[in-house]
């Protein structure tokens, strides 16, 4: 069995994979990563190997503790990857983006693929049919936009995420919902349209925490997969174990 550890800014996910399939998912606060692992180990899983990907802050002491418990690989730009990285600054590519591109190679090999990860940020990552990762874009995510309007203005309130009733907001709250949500939807549809203009045979994947919220609103033809990153991490682990 493989253990996949995806460390975010707030939460960490532990995913158990067996024969390429996810069979268990456990989630806890990032600051509780060690106790979370020990809780998982109580379930008597025997892990042959493990991989960790971190976009959050994880100190060396915790990493060393994890290494004592597991045969652990740390995902970074130096690790062997199943694609050719053409990014001009390859060492700055986030581990989450590397994992997502790897998942696209596993599921859509020899295809032009655009992966959209809608979370804290919205990332766009593009890999060509000849297995070249070219890069993409990084944009503020839904919650980040709501928070920015509240933090960087004097009078705008911080609202919970909500589908706007109409394009024309008839109150401050409705105007914010319209601006944030319609702005994100139009942005994603516009980016997909531009890629499709250049790459006729294009597969589009939507993943991340806001997948379910956004998928029904987008006009573009997409495949929604909220576990894409975890699948990519497992693929990288297997790729480095051959």
- pLDDT per residue over 26-36, tens digit each? 999 998 999 99
Looking at the domain assignment, is residue 241 inside a domain?
A: no
Work out the pLDDT band at 4, boundaries 50, 70, 90.
very high
Same domain, 64 and 105: no
172 annotated as ligand-binding: yes
| Domain edge (last residue) among 43, 74, 105 | 74
96 is catalytic: yes
Residue 124 confidence (pLDDT) = 98
Same domain, 31 and 68: yes
Looking at the domain assignment, is residue 141 inside a domain?
A: yes
189 annotated as ligand-binding: no
- Among the listed residues 71, 76, 96, 189, the single catalytic one is 96
- Return the residue matching tokens 């997969």: 225
87 annotated as ligand-binding: yes
Two structure tokens written together for 184: 């994100």
CATH number at residue 24: 3.30.420.40
Work out the pLDDT band at 200, boundaries 50, 70, 90.
confident
Looking at the domain assignment, is residue 239 inside a domain?
A: no
Residue 226 confidence (pLDDT) = 87
Which phi and psi (to 5°) does residue 124 adopt?
A: -120, 125
Same domain, 95 and 47: no
Looking at the domain assignment, is residue 63 inside a domain?
A: yes
Residue 223 confidence (pLDDT) = 92
Residue 36 confidence (pLDDT) = 93
95 annotated as ligand-binding: yes
Same domain, 53 and 94: no
Same domain, 63 and 91: no
Count Cα atoms within 13 angstroms, Cβ side, for 220.
Answer: 26
Looking at the domain assignment, is residue 238 inside a domain?
A: no
Same domain, 89 and 68: no
Work out the pLDDT band at 220, boundaries 50, 70, 90.
confident
- Return the residue matching tokens 């709250």: 173
Among 191-195, 207-211, 217-221, whose mean pLDDT is lowest?
Answer: 217-221
Residue 57 has pLDDT above 80, yes or no: no
93 annotated as ligand-binding: no
Calculate the average pLDDT of the chain: 93
Domain that holds residue 190: 84-233
Domain count, the chain: 2
Residue 78 confidence (pLDDT) = 86
Residue 58 has pLDDT above 90, yes or no: no
Looking at the domain assignment, is residue 123 inside a domain?
A: yes
Same domain, 20 and 125: no
Residue 97 has pLDDT above 90, yes or no: yes
Residue 60 has pLDDT above 90, yes or no: no
Same domain, 208 and 125: yes
Same domain, 162 and 222: yes
| Domain edge (last residue) among 74, 109, 134 | 74
Same domain, 55 and 37: yes
201 annotated as ligand-binding: no
Output the 3-class SS for the chain. Answer: CEEEEEECCCEEEEEEEECCEEEEEEEEEHHHHHHHHHHHHCCCCCCCEEEEEECCCCCHHHHHHHHHHCCEEECCCCCCCCCEECCCCHHHCCHHHHHHHHHHHHHCCCCEEEEEEECCEEEEEEECCCCEEEEEEEEECHHHHHHHHHHCCCCCCCCCCCCCCCCCCCCHHHHHHHHHHHHHHHHHHHHHHHHHHHCCCEEEEEECCCHHHHHCCCCCCCEECCCHHHHHHHHHHHHCCC
Residue 10 confidence (pLDDT) = 81
Same domain, 57 and 154: no
Same domain, 120 and 208: yes
Segment 102-133, tens digit of pLDDT:
999 999 999 999 999 999 999 999 999 999 99
Average the pLDDT over 133-161 and give the result.
Answer: 97
Distance between CA 64 and CA 46 in Å, rounded?
20
| Domain edge (last residue) among 53, 74, 95 | 74
Average the pLDDT over 208-237 and give the result.
Answer: 91
Q: What are the C-alpha distances in Å from 104 to residues 2, 24, 201, 220, 223?
A: 20, 22, 15, 18, 11
Looking at the domain assignment, is residue 187 inside a domain?
A: yes
With vertex at residue 101, the alpha carbon angle to CA 217 and CA 29, rounded to the nearest 5 degrees, is 75
Residue 43 confidence (pLDDT) = 86
């Amino acid at each position: 069995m493989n253990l996949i550890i995806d460390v975010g800014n707030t939460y960490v996910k532990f995913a158990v994979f067996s024969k390429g399939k996810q069979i268990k998912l456990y989630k806890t606060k990032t600051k509780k990563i060690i106790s979370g692992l020990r809780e998982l180990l109580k379930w008597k899983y025997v892990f042959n190997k493990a991989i960790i990907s971190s976009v959050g802050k994880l100190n060396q002491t915790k990493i060393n503790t994890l290494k004592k418990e597991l045969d652990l690989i740390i995902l970074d730009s130096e690790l062997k990857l199943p694609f050719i990285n053409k990014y001009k600054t390859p060492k700055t590519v986030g581990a989450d983006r590397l994992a997502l591109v790897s998942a696209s190679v596993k599921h859509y090999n020899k295809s032009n693929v655009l992966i959209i990860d809608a979370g804290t940020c919205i990332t766009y990552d593009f890999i060509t049919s000849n297995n070249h990762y070219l890069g993409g874009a990084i944009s503020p995510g839904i919650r980040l936009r709501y928070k920015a309007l509240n933090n960087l203005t004097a009078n705008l309130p911080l609202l919970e995420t909500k589908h706007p009733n109409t394009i024309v907001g008839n109150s401050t709250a409705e105007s914010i919902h319209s601006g944030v949500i319609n702005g994100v939807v139009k942005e994603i549809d516009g980016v997909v349209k531009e890629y499709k203009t250049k790459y006729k045979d294009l597969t589009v994947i939507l993943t991340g925490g806001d997948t379910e919220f956004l998928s029904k609103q987008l006009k573009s033809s997409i495949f929604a997969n909220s576990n894409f990153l975890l699948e990519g991490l497992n693929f990288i682990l297997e790729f480095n174990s051959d």
